[in-house]
Chain A
Amino acid sequence: MDENKINKPRTMPIQSATFSGSVNAEIRRAAATGIYDIRGGGAKRKVPHFDDLLFLGASMSRYPLEGYREKCETSVILGTRHAKNPIELDIPITIAGMSFGALSGPAKEALGRGATMAGTSTTTGDGGMTEEERGHSEKLVYQYLPSRYGMNPDDLRRCDAIEVVVGQGAKPGGGGMLLGQKISDRVAKMRDLPTGIDQRSACRHPDWTGPDDLEIKILELREITNWEKPIYVKVGGARPYFDTTLAVKAGADVVVVDGMQGGTAATQDVFIEHVGQPTLACIRPAVQALQDLGMHREVQLVISGGIRTGADVAKALALGADAVSIGSAAMIALGDNDPRWEADYNALGTTAGAYDDWHEGNDPAGITTQDTKLMARFDPIDGGRRLRNYLKVMSLEAQTIARACGKNHVLNLEPEDLCALTIEAAAMARVPLSGTDWIPGREKF
């Protein structure tokens, strides 16, 4: 080769930040297949989150409680506004709705076992109530969804609360699609549809539109169940102030706000990553709405979307939530994306921790599948025990923080116990930026 060419200074190859490797790969994938990327889970992009908040702990003006000695309560009651039989939970962490169909029967059983041992509730999903979860869940929330798959008055009467799902954080404004690979005979029968077809879940309810109609729908549900059951209204993290206000106006006992990190069984990646707001941005507007209505603590607020640790729980409660709900974290506790199945994940073209093609039904961990061979890999008793352990650890962590802040109940945590590491988190959580007394958008700098 010409010596001049070898030694001539050259511009170093620079990858585009805009057209990154992953972006280009997605363009090529779309061009080759003609279909948008469908996946499970919640937003994977980095957004301001609970990690951007810190507790201040006790100091001269606050005294702490003794760990392991002085009591710090974790119990919470949901549904005190109208229901004859509110739900009493030992811990402020509930299990979010995940459908039978998206999850296997044994996985639903494990969620019920774990939640019951930990003293909390689990939730059905799009596809109806199974005997596995009713039988193993001491407290079961029955979702009332747009598709109404499997909906019936007998299950309404044997649930412990009803959750009217208006939206979810992964896809506010979107419905669902359960692909044919997971539509076994049992799933199809519960949904009144042919086996093996792609099943669409509607994005809005078939018999009501808007908050005025919802008020009447809630009246109907209360009348059918003789006003016994708490009625939750779940919304995606879209317009949390107004959504919470309207849910309360419609008669909700409990409002569930699910941020964009909240998972789904399957929807378009573009939807997950580009529609909805981060969980952290949803809490204070929702709390503000309740406070403006004089309903804070009378209508309970449940926050979900990316809750992973007791610290996340404590932060959500400190910002004004009454409880949190977990879905993705519960699945990981059961064994989802466990590195023990790395070779199987590799065979599917992915790796443990990144596997999100739950809709295809090939889950190596046997959780998001209806394949009997894969399902056999999952032990619901062991899974339930793992979930129980995880919930207990989260509760202990939240208690540890609450005691350090001098609180004898985790619900006594307050925004004044927090500061933020970033301007964005300070603005969203409405707590001061660390080292300052500045709350962006709220007070003068």
Chain B
Amino acid sequence: MQIFDLEDRGLRALNQTLHDQANDTNQTSWEIINPRGSHAIAVGLDAPIEVKIKGSTGYYCGGMNKQADILVEGSVGPGVAENMMSGTVVIEGDASQYAGATGRGGLLVIKGNASSRCGISMKGINIVVHGNIGHMSAFMAQSGNLVVLGDAGDALGDSLYEAQLFVRGTVKSLGADCVKKEMRAEHIALLQNLLDMAGADASPKEFTRYGSARQLYHFDIDNTGAY
């Protein structure tokens, strides 16, 4: 285990050190202490390493992550795991706005609640939120899966493309072109796998699936009321 004191050595040294870890590094386990809400912690990683952050972080923690497994023992600011490509990012606490924004792969787990616009423009990432999510979540979400064990706020899945949304609790309102869909066997299997990976104790049968009605895929003057 490598211990890195962020307060002592600074952000630039941290990210450079983590970037310097190649695929064959034997320093595969890192613990970052004293994060004190700093922004851009552990961004742009591209090696199969484990990074544990002992405390809460600011904006963009784990941004554009590839391969690495990042655990935050605290809460995170806006844009956690934005544009993540692969690997995992697990948040023990809550997440602010835009969690997993534009993520293209990997798994983001938020054990607390996520604020508004969770999964905005997601492009293949899987996001599992143990608590609730805020308004406008999965706005223009393109692909991937968003799983919510709690409730969803207003305008869930507005202008949704091909991402799939699974919500166990209530949905305050659906956004434009987002509709309730049938849970078929393949969805049950997919969801069970995601719940297992996220360490979530829930049954897929408790969830409702939402997806795109695909009515806004081509511009139509008669749809302008929906925009």
A200 near B159 with CB under 8 A, answer yes
Q: A35 — which chain B residues lie within 8 A by C-beta?
A: 219, 221
Cβ proximity bits B68-89 to A, threshold 8 Å, 1 near / 0 not = 0000000000110011010000
Among A34, A193, A197, A207, chain B packs the most CB atoms within 10 A around the CB of A207
* Set of chain A residues within 8 Å of B104, measured between Cβ atoms: 151-152, 192
B217 contacts which chain A residues (CB < 8 A)? Answer: 180, 194, 197-198
Do A202 and B121 touch across chains, with their CB atoms under 8 A apart? yes
- Against A, the Cβ 8 Å flags (1 = close, 0 = not) of B151-168 are 000000001011000000
CB of B123 within 8 A of CB of A148, answer yes
Within 8 A of A (CB), among B140-154: 140, 142-143
Cβ-defined partner of B79 (8 Å) among A147, A153, A156, A207? A207
Indicate if the CB atoms of B140 and A180 lie closer than 8 Å: no
Q: Are B218 and A216 in contact (CB under 8 A)?
A: no
**Is the beta-carbon distance between B79 and A223 smaller than 8 angstroms?**
no
Residues of B within 8 A of A224 (CB): 15, 43-44, 63-64
CB-CB under 8 A from A197, the residues of chain B are 161, 217-218
| Cβ-defined contact, A223 with B124, below 8 A | no
What residues of B have a CB within 8 angstroms of the CB of A180 in the complex?
217-218
In the complex, A227 Cα to B102 Cα: how many Å?
23
Contacts of A33 in B (CB 8 A): 221
Alpha-carbon distance A180/B214, docked complex (angstroms): 14
Is A216's CB under 8 angstroms from B39's CB? Answer: yes
User: What A residues does B222 contact at CB under 8 A?
Assistant: 34
Contact B142 A193 (CB under 8 A): yes
Check if A148 sits within 8 Å of B102, measured CB to CB. yes
- Contacting A at CB under 8 A, from B198-227, are 217-219, 221-222
User: Any chain B CB within 8 A of the CB of A208?
Assistant: yes
Q: In the complex, which residues 1-31 of chain B have their Cβ closer than 8 Å to any Cβ of chain A?
A: 11-12, 15-16, 19
The A contact surface, by secondary structure, is loop
- Whether the Cβ atoms of B101 and A206 lie closer than 8 Å is yes
A220 near B43: Cβ-Cβ < 8 Å: yes
Q: Which residue of A lies closest to B82 (CB)?
A: A207
Interface residues of A in 163-222 (CB under 8 A from B): 177, 179-180, 191-194, 197-198, 200, 202, 206-208, 213, 216-217, 219-220
Task: Please name all residues of chain A whose beta carbon is closer than 8 Å to the beta carbon of B12 when the two chains form the complex.
Answer: 223, 227
B64 and A207 form a contact (CB under 8 A): no
A/B pair count, beta carbons within 8 Å: 104
A268 and B167 CA atoms in complex are apart in Å by 37
State whether the Cβ of A226 lies closer than 8 Å to any Cβ in chain B: yes
The answer, among A152, A153, A206, A223, for a CB contact under 8 Å with B121, is A206
State whether the Cβ of A408 lies closer than 8 Å to any Cβ in chain B: no
Q: Which residues of B contact A213 (CB under 8 A)?
A: 59, 78
Provide the bound-state CA to CA distance between A206 and B141, in Å. Answer: 11
Q: Known: A153-B44, A192-B143, A216-B39. Contact between A223 and B15, CB under 8 A? A: yes
**A153-B85, A217-B60 known; A223 vs B11 contact (CB < 8 Å):** yes
- Please measure, in the bound complex, the distance between the C-alpha atom of A156 and the C-alpha atom of B19, giving whole angstroms: 14
Chain A residues, Cβ within 8 Å of B64 = 152-153, 156, 224
**7 residue pairs, one from A and one from B, having the closest CB atoms:** A224-B44, A34-B221, A207-B79, A207-B98, A192-B123, A148-B102, A197-B217
30 contacts between A and B (CB under 8 A): A34-B221, A148-B123, A151-B104, A152-B64, A153-B44, A156-B44, A179-B219, A191-B142, A192-B142, A192-B143, A194-B161, A198-B218, A200-B140, A206-B101, A206-B102, A206-B120, A206-B139, A207-B82, A208-B79, A213-B59, A213-B78, A216-B59, A220-B43, A220-B59, A223-B12, A223-B40, A224-B43, A224-B64, A225-B44, A226-B15
B residues within 8 Å of A by Cβ?
11-12, 15-16, 19, 39-40, 43-44, 46, 58-60, 63-64, 66, 78-79, 82-83, 85, 97-98, 101-102, 104, 117, 120-121, 123-124, 139-140, 142-143, 159, 161-162, 217-219, 221-222
